Amino acid sequence: CHYVAPACIGVGSVCKSCPLLHSKFPFDISFWTFKHKAKVYNTLQNLTINGLSQWITSCARDSTLFKNKPIINLPNPIDTRLYRPINKEFARNTLRINTPKKLISFGAIGGSQMLRKGFNELKNALESLNSNLKSQCELLVFGESKGEEIKGIPTHYMGTLHDDISLALVYSASDVFIMPSFVESFGQTALEALSCGTPVVAFDTSGLKDIVQHRKNGYLAQCYDIGDLKNGIEWILQLAPQIYASLALYARESALQHFDSQKIAPAYIDIYQQLAGGGAVDKTRVILLARFTLYALLSHQVSTRTYYIGFGAIGGADTPRKGFNELKTALESLNPALKSQCELIVFGGNAPQVKGIRNTHILGFIYDDSSLALAYNACDVFIAPSLAENLSNVIMESLSCGTPVVAFDIGGNSDMIEHKRNGYLAKRGDTADLKDGIEWVLNLNMSAYHTLSLNAYQNVSAQFESSKIAQDYIKAYKWLMGGGHTNL
């Protein structure tokens, strides 16, 4: 549904009186279509939903129709060999736009004719630009349009563009690309512009949040605020040449780092290989998928490998027996070079920053298995430093996701962790040995780490897979119904 209205909450319950249809009757076609979809989707056991952005993935999780299905998040890839920076003068000459002025571009399927693409907001923002700057600007529009006049700014209307080369020329010819959409499930044109080294101004909404990083590769204006949209355009066009060049360079690098087809394609292939078996995607094996999901959440530019260390417990650091203080001591004593490459992911509660660790990301409470699987998969190692446990669910869940675990040798931990085969069992309460375990896992070469990860998944599957355990429970219940303790 492309209707943008905070008052429309049908997706979370059941559609009625659809505002997109201007319907005032509760049981309109949207109601019956919704009910039909609900009936059909419930019969599909092999349906996997892919959200192209964090926002649309979250929408799927909140929807009545999809929330009980496996939901993953893989973005659209982009061929950065096609969408690449082209010399600005050459691009303009090729397009026969011979102007020395600043060139602002806008383009969308439907162009200026589709209200949710925000052309009217762009028009108002441009007409309110600083008069001196406005006199130095021209506008380039592609997609359908009626040739609308924008007061004080000459406009070039390109019509519909059908090939990648024409689009790359348009983006490269531009000084800034504006995407003032009210909502985008992803934001492909914004990504194409960035890949061509052209900064983007967009509203801080929906899928565009995954692509545009505020004042790093563009500008995210406050939602639907025309004044701030104007501020973003002025900010980019008035940058000193050297600063603008850095912004444009990072625009290109952000596309390469997070969306290049050479990186995204293997993750899609992994998913397709699982789906080809006839079932829904196996969430516990999507390690590459989780990496890309968390990159959007934790996005920043780093020059060296980043290691993600996970910790999760109800209560987080506020529950002493869960051992966060011991984990903190161990992390602070890590080899300084390794420590500088580490970030901590915490879910289930709060936790303080750890000295020397690059960043701590508090994900809060995670209520569904899909999100938990992604959190475990995103970690290079999961630490379970509890001082007392019976049989730890978080250890079992992490291993099942193929993420090695470092834990103290207490309680039932040795039932799940085989020392240096699928994780590391540190001596009870010994924070120095806990530190050694973390370093041992993170310093493994790629081949040894993959073996450790595979062992983690296979060991838990063999011992604790639900269908096997369920049969053991059934056997126990039958025994109890027969009177107990005589002949188990």
Range of the domain at 28: 1-41
Question: Would you tell me the crossing angle of helices 446-464 and 393-400 to the nearest 10 degrees?
Answer: 120
Q: Domain check: are 330 and 247 in the same one?
A: no
Evaluate whether residue 343 is within a structural domain: yes
* Structure tokens, 254: 């952000």
**CATH number, domain containing residue 141:** 3.40.50.2000
Q: Domain check: are 334 and 463 in the same one?
A: yes
* Structure tokens, 237: 């066009």
Please tell me the predicted confidence (pLDDT) of residue 204. Answer: 95
Total domains present in the chain = 3
Please tell me the predicted confidence (pLDDT) of residue 486. Answer: 54
Least confident of 218-222, 393-397, 404-408, 480-484: 480-484
7-45 pLDDT, tens per residue?
566 666 788 888 888 888 888 888 888 888 888 888 888
Output the pTM of the full model: 0.59
Mean pLDDT to the nearest integer, 105-110: 87
Last residue of a domain, one of 259, 277, 293: 259
pLDDT at residue 290 tops 80:
no
Q: Domain check: are 247 and 352 in the same one?
A: no
Measure CA 184 to chain center. Answer: 15
| Cα→Cα distances 372→193, 266, 393, Å | 34, 22, 12
Looking at every residue in the chain, the average pLDDT score rounds to 87
pLDDT at residue 287 tops 70:
no
pLDDT at residue 398 tops 70:
yes
pLDDT at residue 297 tops 50:
no
Evaluate whether residue 56 is within a structural domain: no
Evaluate whether residue 334 is within a structural domain: yes
Q: Domain check: are 203 and 332 in the same one?
A: no
* Residue type, position 411, single letter: G
Evaluate whether residue 48 is within a structural domain: no
163-186 pLDDT, tens per residue?
899 999 999 999 999 999 998 999
Mean pLDDT to the nearest integer, 252-274: 91
Please tell me the predicted confidence (pLDDT) of residue 129. Answer: 96
